[in-house]
Amino acid sequence: MDASQHNRRDFIITERERIWEKGKGKFNAAEQLEENVLSLHKKVLGDNHCHTLTSMANIAYTYYSLGRFNAAQQLEEDVLSSSKKVLGDNHPDTLNSKANLASTYHALGKFHAAEQLEEDILSLRKKVLGDNHPCTLLTSMGNLANTYHALGKSYHAFGKLNNAKQLKEDALSLRKKVLGYNHPDTLISMANLANTYHAFGNLNAAEQLERDVLFMREKALGNYHPDKLTSMANLGNTFLALGKLESAEQPQEDVLALTKEVLGDNHPHTLTSMSNLAETYHAPGKFNASEQLEEDVLSLSRKLLGNDHPDRLISMANLGMTYPALGKFNAAEQLEEDNVLAFTRNLLGNNHPHTLTSMTNLARTYYALGKFNIAEQLHQDVVSSRRKVLRSNQPHTLTSIGHLSRTYYESKMKGRICPCRDIWCHAVTKCLCFSLYSGSRKVLVP
Residue where a domain terminates, one of 108, 135, 150: 108
pLDDT at 42 over 90: no
Mean pLDDT of 384-396: 65
> Over pLDDT 70: what percentage of the chain?
76
The answer to whether residue 438 scores a pLDDT higher than 50 is no
Q: Identify residue 243 by its one-letter amino acid code.
A: G
Q: Is residue 162 part of a domain?
A: no
Q: Which of 80, 108, 136 is the last residue of a domain?
A: 108
pLDDT of res. 360:
87
Q: C-alpha distances in angstroms, 244 versus 29, 56, 237, 239?
A: 44, 48, 10, 5
Structural contact between residues 78 and 47, judged by C-beta atoms closer than 8 angstroms: no
CATH number for the domain harbouring residue 377: 1.25.40.10
pLDDT of residue 9: 35
Q: Tell me phi and psi for residue 129, to 5 degrees.
A: -105, -20
Give the DSSP H/E element, type plus range, for residue 200. Answer: helix 184-200
pLDDT digits (tens, 9 = 90+) for 300-320: 888 877 776 777 878 888 898
* Element spanning 115, H or E: helix 111-129
Q: Residue 332 and residue 275: Cα distance in Å, rounded?
A: 18
**Nearest of 373, 348, 349 to residue 363 by alpha carbon:** 373
Residue 100 has pLDDT above 80, yes or no: yes
Please, are residues 256 and 216 in contact by the beta-carbon 8 Å criterion? no
Residue 419 lies in a domain: yes
Q: pLDDT at residue 271 above 70?
A: yes
Hey, how many other C-beta atoms are within 10 angstroms of the C-beta on 435?
Answer: 10
End-to-end CA distance of the chain: 46
**Environment class of residue 174 by beta-carbon count within 10 Å: exposed (0-12), middle (13-18) or buried (19+)?**
middle
pLDDT, tens digit, 9 for 90 and up, residues 116-171: 888 888 888 888 777 766 666 567 777 777 777 776 665 555 567 778 888 888 88
Alpha carbon distance 242, 79 (integer Å):
45
Cα diameter, the chain:
87
In a domain, 399, yes or no: yes
In which domain, by residue range, is 83 found? 1-108
Give yes or no for residue 429 having a pLDDT over 80. Answer: no
**380 burial level (CB within 10 Å; 0-12, 13-18, 19+):** middle
What does the DSSP assignment read for 87-120? H-TTSHHHHHHHHHHHHHHHHTT-HHHHHHHHHH
Please choose, from the candidates 57, 160, 54, the residue with its C-alpha nearest in 3D space to the C-alpha of residue 112: 160
Per-residue confidence (pLDDT) for residue 440, from 0 to 100: 35
Structural domain contains residue 177: no
The separation between CA 194 and the C-alpha centre of its own chain, rounded to angstroms, equals: 16
pLDDT at 336: 87
Mean pLDDT of the 392-417 span:
59
Which CA distances in Å does 239 have to 43, 197, 220? 56, 14, 24
For residues 441 and 234, what is the distance between their CA atoms, to the nearest angstrom? 9
- Are the C-beta atoms of 34 and 55 separated by less than 8 Å? yes
| Spatial separation of the C-alpha atoms in residues 269 and 300, rounded to whole Å | 12
Instruction: Write out pLDDT tens, residues 185-225.
Output: 899 889 989 988 888 888 999 999 999 999 999 999 888 88
**Within a domain: residue 207?**
no
Q: Is 445 helix (H, G, I), strand (E, B) or coil?
A: coil
Determine what percent of the chain is predicted with pLDDT higher than 90: 21
The pLDDT assigned to 419 comes to 46
Cβ pair 41, 51 in contact under 8 A: yes
Does 240 fall in a domain?
Answer: no
Residue 234: pLDDT over 80: yes
393 and 433 Cβ atoms separated by less than 8 Å: no
Task: Please determine, for residue 253, whether its predicted confidence score (pLDDT) is greater than 90.
Answer: yes
Query: Of 395, 413, 325, nearest to 364 (Cα)?
Result: 325
What mean pLDDT do residues 244-248 have?
Answer: 89
Tell whether 135 is covered by a domain. Answer: no
353 part of a folded domain: yes
Domain total of the chain: 2
pLDDT band at 292 (very low <50, low <70, confident <90, very high): very high
How many Å apart are CA 401 and CA 406, to the nearest integer? 9
Domain boundary among 56, 82, 108: 108
